[in-house]
């Protein structure tokens, strides 16, 4: 602060040297140094509280005093800006609306004092000095702390960032709050340098993030950047270049549009755009600089460029209205701040008339009127000559409704809405100050602000704390840097049916969304690009290399520019899941191999499985039809039916192995196999026990058959099966089977199979089946020589012998089988053992039932002579 005050005092001394004023030297000389001897044209209205306003009503200023040996001539502003004049009128509209309603500040009127800063820093500073130093031709006063202040507690403006930088340093010395409506330079967020600066315009740091998201979204890697030669253009472009390069995007050119608009300099920029080869160019500049660039682009016939617009000119009428720019700028895409429809504003804008009662007090109205109607109003207004030679005289009765220009166009109220919000933010802060309850204030000793004479530093505190919901449902508040919420519309310049440029909203960017969320939403199908194309333009330095080539970076070129060099790829150079193609030019993804129904082996196994299930069902049907016959009754029909059902499950469970391995199919195939086979062998075990018990029961005095009735047989089968269910449940809980990829480097395929998970679980399942099979075989072997003519124990012993032989041979075959053939081996073992059980146990019985019915009698079966048939 001390450094800034020292700079200000030096500036003030220089100002007195150029603009001497001796009329007030005897009145408070410490404060008098900030008064200007040459007052500027001002538009003002008295009130209890006066708001200052700075608007760049003219686009340029010419000052010719290179020698500094004489007093500089008065500033000459050029080219009246209708758009900025609308912004100024919006401030007046908002103030009159507040005074008319009287709800925010009852019994208090708000006035204004507005200067033209002419789009230049020194003119903006001169206007700020006038605001702080002159009030009705009286000098500024001192407050109790010895600090100089005038009656202006706050300043609305300025528009350009360069002007605001100068004004913010000056006002910051006195802690006078400044609320800008169009200054977006990220540098102004630094509260150490600009403690009293706030704005309703989002910082360029948010706009740059939005532009980076846009470039990243469309995959542009070769982008040009053209910036204006001011704080807005240079700072914004530099931030964009630094951030976008971190994402791997290369900047083809980075040029500055000079303020002197020298044709040779701008022609050099156009030539560099042509030679760069970039098809996407970002222009980060104010509209005046953008006009100079595009005028030269038109003159030299530059075409085929997709322009990206920064917020400063993304909706500029000076570029969208003239038809000469349509061919060049059609399809332009850029970000614009939120817009709103302000009721009553258009009628307020059209109320102006040079013959009205307020015309004499308005030094800008005559200039505006002459420019709109291209006529001349002779006379004096506020000491400024308004006569224009070569123009017809104005009648004063011209009607603004009869002309169409950017001033009366309220369809795109964006900056005007910012001005409107700035005025209401200040007035809401004043309302909060007036509402302070004595003893509950926010200042030391809980004091309230001075409501009679508003102190700027007190008002600054309240503006920072402003937070309310306006009539457009937008929340108005400032963050710790004095910045508002950053929400942008993505606009696309499209020609409408009347061959006029329309700004079509094709997306939205919300900078307040958390970093990990999607901030940019784009309706890609609604965008028309340069040349009225619907296809996204390509902007890359090198378009990629064909297969069999690698990227070789060009010397002294960005990484985005490379040449393609052919090379050969060996299998060892590819990742494990890839394989080199036959031409050795690229790595291709390996095919996945597994046993499936589309595979020949899978089809054969599936057919054998279904055939086995059908044969089992056929046997079941035969037994059901002959359930009262001697053969069926003698061999425990209930167990026979249950055994046939379990054999059907054994055949069908093999189908679960002929599908693509997944988490559920891997768990199903092993558990279905284990449980169905245990159920089958448990039934055979029950039948074997019944045979032995039946023989022992024929011994006189034996009651053993009572201990092995039908209920006991079912209990044995249930207990044996339940044990396997428990083993499988624990297996699936602890470490279940899961799919696994085998990627051998020497093979052009990936083997997809089911890993057993827990080796102990898999071993327990197989061991339990083996234990029951061996027990069954042992009991059947002991009962093989019983004297019945039809002894089922012989059939069971032979079937279990086949079963055990198959599974003993399975173990080494399964371990040595590669890839999907291990699964084929397992399926083959399931089918072979199932067919062995079905054929050995039931084929002889079906033979007697169907072909030898004479032996299907109780007398024959009870015969002690062994049958010759078996």
Name the least confident of 642-646, 813-817, 821-825.
813-817
Average pLDDT over residues 352-371: 84
Q: Is the peptide bond before 564 cis (omega within 30 degrees of 0)?
A: no
| pLDDT above 70 (res 28) | no
Rounded mean pLDDT of the chain?
A: 82
List the beta bridge partners of residue 477.
467
**CA–CA separation, 178 vs 272, rounded Å?**
40
Span 163-174, pLDDT tens digits? 999 999 999 998
Nearest to 768 by CA among 721, 810, 822, 732: 721
Query: Considering only CA atoms, which of 680, 668, 675, 655 is closest in space to residue 826?
Result: 655
**CATH 3.40.50.2300 domain residues, the chain:** 2-184+414-477, 207-311+316-342+485-526
- Residue 222 φ then ψ, to 5°: -135, 95
pLDDT on residue 260: 83
CATH level 3 topology of 207-311+316-342+485-526: Rossmann fold (3.40.50)
Q: What is the DSSP pairing of strand 333-337 with strand 306-309?
A: parallel
Three-state DSSP at 654 gives helix
Positive/negative CA dihedral, 59, 65, 67, 70: negative
**Residue corresponding to tokens 């920072």:** 464
CATH code of 2-184+414-477, in short, is: 3.40.50.2300
Place of tokens 């001697």: 630
Range name among 502-506, 744-748, 769-773, 788-792 with the lowest pLDDT average:
788-792
User: Given pLDDT bands bounded at 50, 70 and 90, which one contains residue 868?
Assistant: very low
Residue carrying the six token digits 């007046």: 92
Residue range 75-91: mean pLDDT, rounded: 87
Q: Is the pLDDT of residue 70 over 70?
A: no
pLDDT greater than 80 at residue 731:
yes
Q: Is the four-CA dihedral 730, 733, 739, 745 of positive or negative sign?
A: negative
Asked if residue 441 has pLDDT above 50, the reply is yes
Q: What is the mean pLDDT of residues 463-467?
A: 93
Name the DSSP letter for residue 531: T
- pTM higher than the cut 0.85: no
| Residue % of the chain over a pLDDT of 90 | 37
pLDDT in tens, 662-673: 888 888 888 888
Helices 820-851/637-653 angle, 10° precision: 150
- Confidence band for 707, pLDDT divided at 50, 70 and 90: low
Extended beta strands in 123-205, E state:
141-142, 148-149, 155-156, 178-180, 197-199
Name the most confidently modeled range: 72-76, 193-197, 554-558, 771-775.
193-197
Return d(Cα 686, Cα 640) in angstroms, integer: 10
At 136-156, the pLDDT tens digits run 333 444 444 444 444 789 999
> Which of 789, 843, 863, 856 lies closest to 629 in space, CA to CA?
856
- What's the confidence (pLDDT) of residue 321? 86
Question: In percent, how much of the chain has pLDDT > 70?
Answer: 83
Tell which wins on pLDDT, 236 or 810: 236
Asked if 32 and 49 count as a contact pair (C-beta separation under 8 A), the reply is no
Q: Return residue ranges of the chain for CATH 1.20.1070.10.
A: 600-738+750-861
Range 642-650 average pLDDT: 90
Phi, psi of 758 (to 5 degrees): -80, 120
**Does 577 score more than 80 pLDDT?**
no
Taking alpha carbons only, the member of 815, 455, 849 closest to residue 631 is 849
- Give me the architecture of the 600-738+750-861 domain, per CATH: Up-down Bundle (1.20)
What is the rounded CA–CA span in Å between residue 269 and residue 267? 5
Please state, in angstroms and rounded to a whole number, the distance separating the CA atoms of residues 666 and 659.
10
In this predicted structure, the answer to whether residue 135 has a pLDDT above a threshold of 60 is no
Q: Binning pLDDT at 50, 70 and 90, where does residue 344 land?
A: very high
Q: Where residue 593 falls among pLDDT bands split at 50, 70, 90?
A: confident
Tell me the HSE value of 524 on the side-chain side, using a 13 A CA sphere. Answer: 7
pLDDT in tens, 770-808: 898 888 888 888 776 665 544 677 788 888 888 888 888
Of the pLDDT bands very low, low, confident and very high (cuts 50, 70, 90), residue 225 is very high
**Exposed e or buried b for every residue in 137-154, given b needs 16+ CB within 10 A?**
eebbeeeeeebbbbbbbb
Confidence at residue 863, expressed as pLDDT on a 0 to 100 scale:
60
Q: What is the mean pLDDT of residues 554-572?
A: 75
Look at residue 8 in the predicted model and tell me its pLDDT: 47
Residue 637 scores a pLDDT above 50: yes
Place of tokens 């028309």: 528
- Confidence category of residue 37, pLDDT binned at 50, 70, 90: very low
- Taking the C-alpha atoms of residue 402 and residue 26, their distance in angstroms, rounded to an integer, is 54
Contact assessment for residue 163 and residue 117, using Cβ atoms and an 8 Å cutoff: yes
Q: How many CB atoms lie within 10 A of CB 567?
A: 12
CB half-sphere exposure, 71, CA atoms < 13 A: 10
Alpha helices for 247-373 (secondary structure H): 263-276, 287-300, 317-320, 326-329, 345-349, 365-373
Whether 651 contacts 612, CB under 8 Å: yes
- pLDDT tens for 508-537 read 998 888 776 688 999 999 999 998 888 999
Query: In 3D, which of 479, 473, 475, 420 has the Cα closest to residue 198?
Result: 479
Higher pLDDT, residue 579 or 187: 187
Other C-beta atoms within 10 Å of 868: how many?
6
User: 335 - beta bridge partners?
Assistant: 490
Q: Which of 470, 514, 439 is nearest to 97 (CA)?
A: 470
Residue 818 has pLDDT above 80, yes or no: no
Query: CA 638, CA 712: separation in Å to the nearest integer?
Result: 13
Is 616 within 8 Å of 642 (Cβ atoms)? no
């Amino acid at each position: 602060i001390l450094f800034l005050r020292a700079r200000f005092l030096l500036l003030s001394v220089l100002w007195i040297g150029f603009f001497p004023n001796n009329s007030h030297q005897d009145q408070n000389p410490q404060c008098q140094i900030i008064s200007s001897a040459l007052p500027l044209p001002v538009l003002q209205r008295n009130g209890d509280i006066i708001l200052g306003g700075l608007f760049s009503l003219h686009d340029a200023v010419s000052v010719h005093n290179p020698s500094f040996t004489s007093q500089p001539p008065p500033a000459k502003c050029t080219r009246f800006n209708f758009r900025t004049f609308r912004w100024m009128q919006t401030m007046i509209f908002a103030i009159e609306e507040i005074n008319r309603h009287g709800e925010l500040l009852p019994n208090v009127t708000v006035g204004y004092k507005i200067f033209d800063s002419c789009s230049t820093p020194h003119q903006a500073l001169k206007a700020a000095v006038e605001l702080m130093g002159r009030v009705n031709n009286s000098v500024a006063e001192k407050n109790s702390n010895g600090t100089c202040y005038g009656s202006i507690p706050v300043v609305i403006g300025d528009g350009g960032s360069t002007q605001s930088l100068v004004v913010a340093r000056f006002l910051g010395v006195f802690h006078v709050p400044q609320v800008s409506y169009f200054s977006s330079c990220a540098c102004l967020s630094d509260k150490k340098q600009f403690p009293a600066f706030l704005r309703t315009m989002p910082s360029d740091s948010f706009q740059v993030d939005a532009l980076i998201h846009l470039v990243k979204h469309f995959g542009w890697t070769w982008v040009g950047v053209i910036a204006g030669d001011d704080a807005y253009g240079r700072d914004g472009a530099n931030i964009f270049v630094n951030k976008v390069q971190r994402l791997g995007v290369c900047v083809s050119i980075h040029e500055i549009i000079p303020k002197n608009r020298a044709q040779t300099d701008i022609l050099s920029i156009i030539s560099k755009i042509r030679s760069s080869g970039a098809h996407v160019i970002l222009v980060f500049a104010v509209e005046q600089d953008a006009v100079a660039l595009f005028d030269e682009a038109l003159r030299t016939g530059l075409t085929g460029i997709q322009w990206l617009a920064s917020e400063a000119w993304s909706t500029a009428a000076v570029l969208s209205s003239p038809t000469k720019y349509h061919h060049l700028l059609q399809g332009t895409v850029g970000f614009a701040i939120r817009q709103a429809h302000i009721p009553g504003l258009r009628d307020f804008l059209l109320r102006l008339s040079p013959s009205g009662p307020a015309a004499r007090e308005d030094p800008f109205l005559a200039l505006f009127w002459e420019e709109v109607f291209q006529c001349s109003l002779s006379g004096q207004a506020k000491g400024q000559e308004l006569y224009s030679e070569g123009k017809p005289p104005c009648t004063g009765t011209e009607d603004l409704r009869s002309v169409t220009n950017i001033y009366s166009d309220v369809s795109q109220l964006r900056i005007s809405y910012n001005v409107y919000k700035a005025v209401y933010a200040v007035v809401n802060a004043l309302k909060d100050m007036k509402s302070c309850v004595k003893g509950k204030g926010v200042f030391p000793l809980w004091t309230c602000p001075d409501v009679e004479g508003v102190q700027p530093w007190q008002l600054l505190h309240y503006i920072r704390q402003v937070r309310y919901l306006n009539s457009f449902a937008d929340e108005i508040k400032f963050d710790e840097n004095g910045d508002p919420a950053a929400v942008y519309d993505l606009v696309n310049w499209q020609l409408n049916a009347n061959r006029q440029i329309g700004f079509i909203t094709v997306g939205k960017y919300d900078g307040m969304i958390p970093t990990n969320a999607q901030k940019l939403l784009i309706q890609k199908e609604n965008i028309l690009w340069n040349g009225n194309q619907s296809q996204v333009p390509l902007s890359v330095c090198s378009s990629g290399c064909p297969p069999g080539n690698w990227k070789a970076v060009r010397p002294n070129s960005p990484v985005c520019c490379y040449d393609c060099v052919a090379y050969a790829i060996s299998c060892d150079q590819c990742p494990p899941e890839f394989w080199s193609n036959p031409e050795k030019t690229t790595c291709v993804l390996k095919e996945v191999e597994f046993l499936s129904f589309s595979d020949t082996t899978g089809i054969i196994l599936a057919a054998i499985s279904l055939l086995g299930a059908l044969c089992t069902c056929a046997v079941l049907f035969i037994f059901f039809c002959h359930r009262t016959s001697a053969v069926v009754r003698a061999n425990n029909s209930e167990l026979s039916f249950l055994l046939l059902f379990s054999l059907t499950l054994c055949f069908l469970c093999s189908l679960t192995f002929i599908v693509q391995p997944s988490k559920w199919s891997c768990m199903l195939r092993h558990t279905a196999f284990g449980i169905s086979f245990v159920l089958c062998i448990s039934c055979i075990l029950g039948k074997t026990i019944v045979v032995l018990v039946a023989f022992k029961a024929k011994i006189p005095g034996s009651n053993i058959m009572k201990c092995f009735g039908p209920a006991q047989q079912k209990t044995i089968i249930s207990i044996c099966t339940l044990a396997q269910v428990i083993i499988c449940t624990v297996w699936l809980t602890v470490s279940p089977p899961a799919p696994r990829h085998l990627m051998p480097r020497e093979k052009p395929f990936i083997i997809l199979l089911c890993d057993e998970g827990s080796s102990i679980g898999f071993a327990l399942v197989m061991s339990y089946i083996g234990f029951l099979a061996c027990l069954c075989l042992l009991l059947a072997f002991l009962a093989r020589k019983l004297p019945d003519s039809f002894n089922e124990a012989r059939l069971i012993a032979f079937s279990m012998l086949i079963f055990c032989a198959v599974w003993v041979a399975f173990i080494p075959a399964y371990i040595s089988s590669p890839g999907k053939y291990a699964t084929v081996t397992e399926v083959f073992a399931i089918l072979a053992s199932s067919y062995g059980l079905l054929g050995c146990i039931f084929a002889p019985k079906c033979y007697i039932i169907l072909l030898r019915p004479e032996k299907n009698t109780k007398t024959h079966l009870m015969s002690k002579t062994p049958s010759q048939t078996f």
